[in-house]
Amino acid sequence: MSADPVDDGAPLADLSAGSVALYTLPSGERPLSAIPRAGFENLLVLSTSADLERLERAVVERGGDPAHVGVVPVTGTTVDYDGALWTTERANPSDLTGISIRFSEAFAHVRPGVGWVVVDNLGVLSMYVSEERLFRFVESITSATRERNAHCVLAATEGVLGERTLARLEGLTDRTVSAR
């Protein structure tokens, strides 16, 4: 696939490499629908769900090859998955150091210009850590993706994060897009 975004109707199809978007979505929806099909050629997801089979199905439904998608499972529950997605060891949502280590290891596979990073649910992380720690963590992810010239999507469920937190996070992004 081309490194250029494909306008396939995805809300973030035109997100430039090196850019960061905050994507707000209704509860129960997944942010993968926001990225273009080309994004699935080199994708890293920090997933707050232990249901990686569901994530794999979402990748396939969007036309992606799960073998090109890496996942850092960020969950307090055991992850029992034996599928095509490549995964790191699970990290607990309250352990930002552990998440950062696993992210750094997996991020080595994100290619400049074509790679995508999706943090699928900032609201879950906000339940485990302070606003300041969440902000510093997100700042490190956005800085790394900008330096790598990759695309970054930060997903937040509508109504979960407070206005102040959202405003701070928006300060780290190039734009905010709503799924509605």
State pLDDT tens for residues 23-48.
999 998 889 999 999 999 999 999 99
> In this model, does residue 132 exceed pLDDT 60?
yes
* Interatomic CA distance for residues 143 and 149, integer angstroms: 10
pLDDT exceeds 70 at position 82: yes
- Residue 88's CB is within 10 A of a number of other CB atoms, namely 21
- What's the pLDDT at 7? 53
CA separation, residue 58 to residues 30, 53, 66, 142 (Å)? 8, 9, 9, 24
Terminal C-alpha separation, the chain? 28
pLDDT at 78 over 50: yes
Handedness of CA 122, 173, 114, 157 (dihedral sign): positive
Quick check: 99 and 46 in contact, CB under 8 A? yes
Q: What is the distance between the alpha carbons of residues 77 and 100, in angstroms, rounded to a whole number?
A: 18
* Displacement of CA 134 from its chain's centroid (Å): 14
Mean pLDDT for the stretch of residues 166-179: 96
Tell me the domain boundaries of the chain: 20-178
* Proportion of the chain above pLDDT 70, given as a percent: 96
20-178 is classed in which CATH architecture? 3-Layer(aba) Sandwich (3.40)
Instruction: Check pLDDT > 60 for residue 131.
Output: yes
Least confident of 20-24, 25-29, 94-98, 118-122: 25-29
Report whether pLDDT(19) > 90: yes
Dmax (CA) of the chain: 40
